A and B are shown apart, each in its own frame.
Chain A
Amino acid sequence: MKVSYNWLREFVDITTSPEEVAARLALTGTNIASIEKGAHGAVIDAEITSNRPDCLGMIGIAREAAAAYRLPLKTISAKPAESAATKASDAISVKIEAPDLCGRFTARVIRGVKVQPSPQWLKDRLEAAGTASINNVVDISNYVMLETGHPLHTFDYDLVRNHSIVVRRAKAGEKIRTLDGIERTLDPSICTVCDGDGSRSVGIGGIMGGGETEISFSTKSVLIECAWFDPIAIRRAARSLRLHTEASMRFGRGADPETADLASRRAAELILQLAGGELFSGVVDLYPGKRVPKKITLTRRELLRIMGADVPDKDIEAILSSLGFAPVRSDQNGGSINSLLAAWECTQPSWRAEVEREIDLIEEVARVYGLSHFPPRLPAARLGAARLPHYEAEMRLRERLIGLGYHEILTIPHVAEDRNELFRPAETSPAKLSNPLSEEASVLKSTGAVTMAGAIEWNLNHGQRNARLFEIGSHYRFVKGKPVETRILTVGATGAVRAQALYDAPRDYGFADLKGDLDAIGALSGGLRWEQGGPDWLNPLRRGAISLGKESGPSLGYAGQLGKRAAEKFKFRQDVFLAEIELGPLYCMYYGVKNSRRYEPLPRFPGVERDFSLFLADGVTFAQVQQIIWSLAIPEVASIEAADLFRGKNVPAGKFSLLVRVVFQSREATLTESQINEFSSRIVAALEQNLGATLRAS
C-alpha cells in the first residue's frame, strides 16, 4: 500500500517528517518497506499484513497514525446532493441469489455525466499511489478505493440490460470477457454479477468487471456498485482464475461491509463534482450479510498475565478509543484508577472483523502503547534441559570424521527422478512431489548417495579433484504408503588421499581408505562387520555390506566404489567411493558399548611378535587365515594382523604373498623361545593343512 504523506495529512494533523511518521508506524504495527520522495511528495510504502484489510485504504493508515500520535482522526463524510425527481430504486433493481458469496450490494445511479480526463490533482494522487489514470469516473472509483479501502465498480448504466442486476453463482463453464479483454471461464464457486434476466455476466463479483458494460467516453449514466463479497470465496476464485486485482486483494482479506455505503456515497459525491450529472435519490441496498457488532471485554488481569507489565488506564482507553473500540469501564471498581480488577467492554468496529477476543485487544493496546515499554527479563527455569538422545554419539561421529579429513556437507534433498532411480533400492518407493519447481528437483532423495554424488560432481566440475565429504541427514522413502525419514550417514570421496608434498608420496583414495575410516567410526559402536554384497550401483569387485557387531547385528548399509553405469551418468572420469550407513542402530550401540566398557589391566609381561610370510592361493581371505589361527585356541595369541600383501614378482602364479603378524602375550609369565616356537609350528601346520599355505623362504 503506497501511502502519500500529503494525502495522509488530510486525515491527521501530523507535523513531523515522513521518515519520523514511517518509523512510528513501523513500531506500532505497520511494516514499512521504504520511503520514496516523488513528484507529489513523500510516499511511504507500507507492507500490510494479511490480517489488516482496513489498512488497505488511507483512512485505515490514518487511523493507525492518529492512534500512534494520539491525534484526532478526520473521518470521511460524504453527502452527495440527490435529485428529488427520481429514486434509485426506480432506476435499478438488484437481486442477490448467492447471499453466501455476496453479503451486501449497494447501487446508485447518476444520470447525465460527462466522462472526460481527470483533473490534475486526481491524476497526481493516483500516480503517487501507483495507479494509472483512465477517465474521471473510473479514476474516482479507484480513488475512493484507495481512500476508504473499499473497492467499487462503475457500469455504463445504459448498457445494463433491463436496468437489472442479478448476483449469483456462475454456471460451470460460463464465460465472461473481463475488462482486460481476456475471456475467462467460471465455475459455480465463483460469484458473478449479471444483468437483465441474469443470463449474462457483466462482472466477476469482487474481482473484475466485464467489458460489455465498461465506462467509456460516450457513457452518459453511471451505475455505482459498492458491494461486499466473501473473502474465502474471493481468494479461491482469484487463485483459480489467476486473476489478482486490487479489488480481489481487498475483498479477499475481508473488506468492511459497513463501509460499502460510505464508499458509494463518496464516489457519487466526487462524480457529481468532477463529471456533473444528477444523482437519483436514495440507494438500492441489499444487505443479507449484516453483522451484529461483537462485544469484547479487556481485563487488566489478563493484560498483565500475558504482557508481564502494566499499561495505565488512560493509555488503554486512549488507544482503544482511537482505534474505534469505544471502551467502557465495566468492572465493579469502575471509579478506581489503574485498579487491578479493571475491565473494559469494547465494541468491535466493523472494519476490524479479526479482533474478536481479549487477546486481540491486548495486542492492540500493547502495540500502540509501545513494545519497548515491557521490560525484558529471563524466565525462571523450572526444569532441566535435555539434548537430543543421539547428541553425544553424533557429535563424536562428526568429530572423528572431521579428524579423518572429511568435510561435512549439507544437500538439498530434491533431485531429478532419473538420478534418484540410479540408486533407489527396488523394494522402496520414492517420495515424489506433486508440484515440483522443476524436473531436476522433482523427487526427494531415496538414498544419501544421490546427493553425495551430486556434491562430488560439483567439485569435479569446479576443478576440485580431491574431495572427502560426509553428510549426516535423512533419506526419504515410502514404505507401505507411509513416508519414512531415516537418519543416515553418507560418505563420498575421490581423488588423492595424499597429495605430493614435502614429506609424502602421492596416493589416490581407495577402497581400503573408505573401509578403514568407516571402521574407525564403527569402533565407537563396538565395530563393524563386512560381508560380500551391496547394491548394483557399486562396483561388484570393490564393495561390501556393512553390519553392526562381530557375529550378528543389524545391517547398516554398504560401501564401495561407484560402478561404471552410475559413474558414466555423472561423467566421472576418476574413481569415486561412496558409503551409506543407517545411524539409528549405530547410535544406539554407541551408548551400549560406551556404558559396558570396562578397564582391562595392562599386561605385566612383554608380548612377542612373530611374522609368518605365507603364499596363499588367490581367493583365500585374511578372515580365513585369522579363523584358522583363532581356532587353535592358543590363549597366548593376542592379535593377528595382516602386515603386508604382495602379488607379482617372485610369487607363483595363482598365489599371493601375505605377511601375517601374530602377537603372543601371556598374563602369567614371560614367554620362552621354545613356547613361541611351539605355537608357531602349530600355526604353520594348521595353515598348511587347512588353506594349503606354504611358508615363503625368507
Chain B
Amino acid sequence: MSTTPDSKLSQPLASLGISSADGVQSLFAEVRSRFDMDAARVTDEASFKAFRDTWLARKSGVITLITDNWLKPASPDVKRLVGAALNELRAHVDSQIEAHRRAVETGVESAATAKDRVDLSLPGVIRPIGSHHLIRTVMQEIEDIFFSIGFSVVEGPEIETPYYNFEALNIPEHHPVRDDMDTFYLDVADDTPGKLLLRTHTSPVQIRTMEKRQPPVRVIVPGKVYRRDNPDATHSFMFHQIEGLAVDTDITFCDFTGTIEYFVKQFFGESVKTRFRPSYFPFTEPSVEFDVSCIFCGGTGSGASGVVCGKCKGSGWIELFGAGMVDPAVYGFVNYDPKKVSGFAFGMGMDRLAMLKYGIDDLQVFFQNDVRFLRQFP
C-alpha cells in the first residue's frame, strides 16, 4: 500500500554523502514526491489509516525517521538546511493528511445505506400543545396597544344594577336607547333591594372607575356583555367588549380621534383609512361612529372580479364601534366638575374585530369551542 521505508531513511546524511543545500533539497523533493504518490493511493478508511501511520506514526513514521536520522545527527550547517526543509515537508504532510481524513469520513457517511438515513418528511415527536382562544388573543392584543399609550386595565362585575348600566350613563328609565339594548334581568329574591341585570355594555365600569379615582383617568375595560338577541351568524346574547375611558383637564376631541386612529393602525395596519361619523349615544357628546376602510376590498367597495364587496356592501367602509366625548351629564353622577374636566369614551366589540381581522363569518364558532376551530389559532 504505502512505500517501503526507504533505506535512506535509516542513515544519517553524512553516510549518504549529502552536505550541500542542493543535496538536501533534492533529497526532500524525492521524499515529497513519494508522499504525494502515497496520498494518491488513499481510497477508503483503511488505506487512509495505513497512509497516515506510514508518515506520522510516532515511532517509525517517515517524519520521525527523518527527524531522528537526518536532522539530529547533522552538522550545524546542514542541520539548519534540514530543519527548514523538514518544516516545509511537515506542513505539507499535515495539511494533506487532514484533507484526506475529511474526504474519507465524508465518503464513509455518504456511502452509508439508505435505511440509516432520517426521512425528513416524517414528523418529529409531536407533543400536544394547546391554544389560546382567539378572542383572548385579540383582547390581549388590544390591551397591549392601549397599555403602550398609558391606559390601565380594570374590570367590573357582569351582574349589574340598572343604576350603573343605565342611569349613571345618562340613560334614564324610559329612554328609547333602553329599547335598543334588550336586557336580561335576574330573578331576584323579594328581599333583594332593586333590580339586577346582566350588563349590556362594559360602560358601567366607567362609572365605577370614576367613583373611585380622580382625574387623570385612563383605563380600558375588557369583559363579557349580554344582550337579549336571538343568536345567529352576527349575534350572540353574550359577547366581548373593550371599553375605553380617558378623563383629564385637557382631553379634547382631537386627542380622542388621535387615540382611536393610533389603535386602529396598530391593530389593522398602517394602510387602513379611518373616518368618524357623527352619531348619538346618551353618555357621549359629541358622539361618533368610527369606520375603517374595508380591509377586504381595500376600501374600493368591489371585490375580486369587480363584484360588489359583500363585507362592506360596496361602501368601502366598515363600521367598527361607537364612541365620543364623555357627556357632561355623566360627570354629575361621579362628582367630577364638568367645567374642569373633559374626556372621551369608546366601546368596541372584540368578537367583531376578531371576525373582521381573521375573516370569520360566523360568530357562533367562538363559543362552540370545537377543537378543530381552536387549533387554527394557536
Contact = CB atoms under 8 A, between A and B. Distances in A.
Do A and B share a complex? yes
Interface of A: 26-29, 31, 34, 49-52, 232, 235-236, 239, 252-253, 304-309, 357, 359-360, 362-363, 366-367, 371-372, 374-388, 391, 398, 401-414, 431-437, 441, 444, 455, 458-459, 462, 464, 466-470, 474, 476, 478, 481-483, 485, 497-498, 501-504
Given A366-B253, A408-B131, A474 B147 contact: no
Nearest to A52: B280
Nearest to A464: B371
Nearest to B281: A49
B277 A27 contact: yes
The 7 lowest CB-CB distance pairs between A and B, nearest first, are: A308-B252, A308-B254, A367-B278, A405-B128, A29-B278, A376-B258, A49-B280
Contact of A414 (B180, B188, B237, B252): B237
B375 interface: yes
Contact of B289 (A31, A253, A501): A31
B285 A402 contact: no
A249 to B, nearest CB: 9
A360 B282 CA distance: 11
Given A403-B130, A409-B133, A371 B288 contact: yes
A483 B159 contact: yes
Contact of B192 (A363, A366, A476, A481): A481
Contacts of A409: 133, 369, 374
A428 B159 CA distance: 17
A603 B292 CA distance: 61
7 contacts: A308-B253, A374-B253, A379-B251, A385-B151, A401-B130, A466-B371, A470-B130
B155 interface: yes
A391 B285 CA distance: 33
B185 interface: yes
A406 B133 CA distance: 11
A232 B172 CA distance: 11
B216 interface: yes
A412 B189 CA distance: 24
Contacts of A433: 184-187, 198
Given A371-B288, A431-B159, A437-B230, A410 B252 contact: no
A304 B251 CA distance: 11
Residue picked from B151, B154, B187, most chain A C-beta under 10 Å: B187
Contacts, number: 237
Nearest to A410: B133
Contacts of B253: 306-309, 366, 371, 374
B285 A29 contact: no
Contacts of B260: 376
Interface of B is mostly: mixed
Contact of B185 (A362, A388, A434, A501): A434
A402 B130 contact: yes
B158 A485 contact: yes
Given A235-B179, A371-B277, A436-B184, A402 B218 contact: no
Interface of A is mostly: mixed
B259 A467 contact: no
Contacts of A498: 128
B255 interface: yes
Contacts of B228: 435, 437
Interface string B326-338: 0110000000000
Given A378-B259, A462-B370, A412 B186 contact: no
Contact of A359 (B130, B131, B285): B285
Interface string B2-36: 00000000000000000000000000000000000
A52 B278 CA distance: 12
Contacts of A466: 371
A377 B327 CA distance: 21
Contacts of A376: 254, 257-258, 260-261
A31 B275 CA distance: 13
A384 B275 contact: no
A502 B174 contact: no
Contacts of B372: 462, 464
Contact of B325 (A306, A383, A386, A503): A306
A412 B367 contact: yes
B149 to A, nearest CB: 6
Contacts of A307: 252-254
A16 B280 CA distance: 27
A252 B258 contact: no
Contact of B278 (A28, A357, A406): A28
A375 B371 contact: no
Given A306-B286, A404-B130, A413-B238, 9 more contacts: A27-B278, A371-B278, A387-B147, A403-B130, A407-B131, A407-B369, A410-B369, A437-B230, A466-B371
A407 B130 contact: yes
B279 A49 contact: yes
B127 interface: yes
A391 B255 CA distance: 28
B220 to A, nearest CB: 9
B342 interface: yes
B177 interface: yes
A401 B133 CA distance: 12
B122 interface: yes
A394 to B, nearest CB: 10
Given A409-B374, A431-B186, A371 B257 contact: yes
B262 interface: yes
Contact of A367 (B130, B258, B286): B286
Interface string B253-273: 111011111100000000000
Contact of B150 (A384, A402, A407, A437): A384
B40 interface: no
B218 to A, nearest CB: 7
B232 interface: no
Given A377-B254, A412-B238, A481-B191, A50 B278 contact: no
A681 to B, nearest CB: 42
Interface in B323-361: 325, 327-328, 342
Given A367-B278, A476-B159, A412 B370 contact: no
A402 B131 contact: yes
A386 B152 contact: yes
B157 interface: yes
Interface in B126-148: 126-133, 135-136, 147
Contacts of B366: 410
B177 A50 contact: yes
Nearest to A47: B279
A414 B228 CA distance: 11
A305 B133 contact: no
Interface string B181-210: 000111111011000101000000000000
B248 interface: yes
Contacts of B185: 433-435
B369 A305 contact: no
Contacts of A360: 285
Contacts of B289: 31
B279 A388 contact: no
Given A235-B179, A459-B369, A481-B191, A388 B155 contact: yes
Contacts of B128: 405, 468, 497-498
A377 B246 CA distance: 14
B306 interface: no
Nearest to A368: B278
Contact of B374 (A232, A366, A387, A408): A408
Contacts of A469: 369, 371
Contact of B149 (A26, A381, A408): A381
A482 to B, nearest CB: 8
A594 B206 CA distance: 33
Nearest to B153: A388
